[in-house]
């Protein structure tokens, strides 16, 4: 059975890895994937990744420092990446390619443009915020892909389209080294723009009946912005996007849960991780605080959406393998 090797860049807590594995489990294709190396500058992300996947594959290293020789000596079939989003957000001042945090992606873009063809991957999956779509960084990446003979498709997708009651619209690019226009898009279209699944499926216990830990009691500073909070109940079919600022900033960082006579509380990191569709066995190392877990999962990806797009890569790789 063919083995597709994978390089992960900006791996975070492993959402791209989990999505690729989920896709592999859900489709009947004679291919398997194997991550050969995963890069991120965060040691806590690496700890969490290694806690859930086989250790020894992560490198706490800035992607921009990788030499050409690394890509030549470690050629892989697939690249997955979730570059820092701050250069493409208002909170990050929208500096685009001029932001130092965009340097890692710029390095990969240059590698795609200049490295020998034998060092290039067959497929690429990238995730970022919607503002990335109009960025100079994307324009440069697309130019490199076209020059090197890649076909690619762009998506703006939300988990609510995949029957998950959480709003997290993101930009995705899927590319394969093929000039065939129909090699992408074989994965099934998402069900639609809304889900009837309720939040209660993702919660621990009944919030209107069960006592909840003091740790998740609504912080005092949240109450000062009560009118601006997105308050949901266990029967709600939507929740706001949870960001890395959840638990620290009240406005715009994610929904809070009404617990009836118990008042309101924060979602736990485990519940948010469920809404991101991570495997139920996924967990954080004990030394990572709940506030830090909010930050980690808030900066991660939705596994269900990644899995749907990863199927395109796997289908395309299988099709290319059969025709070679």
Q: What is the pLDDT of residues 182-196, one digit of tens each?
A: 666 644 456 555 668
Distance, C-alpha 315 to centroid of its chain: 20
Lowest model confidence (mean pLDDT) among 23-27, 146-150, 214-218, 281-285:
214-218
Decide if 241 is catalytic.
Answer: no
Please check whether residues 141 and 243 belong to one and the same domain: no
Q: Write down the pLDDT at residue 205.
A: 79
3-state helix, strand, coil in the chain (%, to 5): 40, 15, 45
Matching residue, tokens 């900006």: 10
Domain hosting residue 288, numbered range: 199-298
**Of 45, 85, 158, 241, which one is the catalytic site residue?**
85
Please check whether residues 20 and 145 belong to one and the same domain: yes
pLDDT in tens, 235-246: 999 999 999 999
Domain count, the chain: 2
Residue-by-residue DSSP string for 5-60:
EEEEES-TTSHHHHHHHHHHHHS--S-EEEEEEEE-S-HHHHHHHHHHS-TT-EE-
pLDDT in tens, 94-136: 999 999 999 999 999 999 999 999 999 999 999 999 999 999 9
Q: Write down the pLDDT at residue 168.
A: 97
Distance CA 259, CA 220 (A): 16
Please check whether residues 16 and 131 belong to one and the same domain: yes
Say if 84 falls within a structural domain: yes
Please check whether residues 134 and 183 belong to one and the same domain: yes
Q: Is the pLDDT of residue 44 over 60?
A: yes
Please check whether residues 129 and 219 belong to one and the same domain: no
CATH number at residue 307: 3.40.50.150
Average pLDDT over residues 43-71: 97
Please check whether residues 66 and 180 belong to one and the same domain: yes
Q: Is the pLDDT of residue 206 over 90?
A: no
Please check whether residues 33 and 121 belong to one and the same domain: yes
Say if 194 falls within a structural domain: no
Please check whether residues 174 and 87 belong to one and the same domain: yes
Say if 17 falls within a structural domain: yes
Average pLDDT over residues 70-97: 95
Lowest model confidence (mean pLDDT) among 13-17, 303-307, 314-318:
314-318
Confidence band for 214, pLDDT divided at 50, 70 and 90: confident
Q: Is the pLDDT of residue 308 over 70?
A: yes
Q: Write down the pLDDT at residue 193.
A: 58
pLDDT in tens, 244-258: 999 999 999 999 999
Please check whether residues 230 and 205 belong to one and the same domain: yes
Q: Looking at residue 240, what DSSP letter applies?
A: P
Say if 249 falls within a structural domain: yes
Q: Write down the pLDDT at residue 57.
A: 95
Strands (E), the chain: 3-9, 32-39, 58-59, 78-81, 123-128, 151-157, 170-176, 231-232, 256-258, 264-265
Distance CA 192, CA 163 (A): 8
Please check whether residues 40 and 17 belong to one and the same domain: yes
pLDDT in tens, 272-297: 999 999 999 999 999 999 999 999 99
């Amino acid at each position: 059975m063919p083995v597709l090797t994978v390089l992960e860049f900006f791996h975070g807590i492993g959402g791209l890895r989990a999505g690729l594995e989920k896709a592999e489990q859900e489709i009947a294709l004679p291919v398997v994937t194997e991550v050969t190396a995963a890069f991120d500058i965060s040691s806590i992300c690496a700890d969490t990744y290694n806690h859930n996947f086989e250790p020894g594959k992560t490198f706490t290293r800035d992607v921009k420092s990788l030499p050409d020789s690394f890509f030549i000596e470690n050629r892989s079939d697939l690249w997955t990446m979730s570059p820092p989003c701050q250069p493409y957000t208002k909170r990050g001042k929208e500096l685009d390619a001029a932001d130092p945090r965009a340097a890692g992606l710029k390095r990969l873009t240059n590698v795609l443009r200049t490295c020998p063809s034998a060092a290039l991957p067959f497929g690429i999956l990238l995730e970022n915020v919607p503002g990335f779509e109009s960025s100079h960084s994307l324009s440069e990446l697309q130019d490199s892909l076209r020059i090197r003979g890649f076909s690619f498709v762009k998506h703006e997708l939300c988990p609510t389209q995949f029957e998950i009651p959480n709003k997290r619209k993101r930009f995705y690019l899927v590319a394969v080294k093929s000039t065939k226009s129909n090699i992408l898009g074989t994965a099934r279209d998402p069900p639609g723009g809304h889900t009837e699944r309720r939040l209660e499926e993702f919660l621990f216990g009944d919030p209107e009946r069960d006592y909840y830990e003091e740790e998740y009691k609504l912080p005092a500073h949240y109450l000062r912005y009560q009118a601006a909070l997105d308050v949901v109940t266990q029967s709600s079919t939507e929740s706001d996007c949870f960001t890395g600022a959840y638990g620290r900033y009240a406005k715009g960082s994610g929904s809070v849960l009404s617990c009836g006579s118990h008042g309101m509380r924060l979602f736990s990191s485990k519940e948010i991780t469920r809404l991101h569709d991570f495997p139920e066995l996924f967990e954080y190392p004990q030394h990572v605080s709940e506030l830090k877990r909010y930050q980690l999962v808030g900066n991660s990806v939705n596994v269900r959406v990644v899995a749907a797009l990863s199927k395109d890569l796997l289908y395309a790789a299988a099709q290319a393998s059969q025709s070679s």
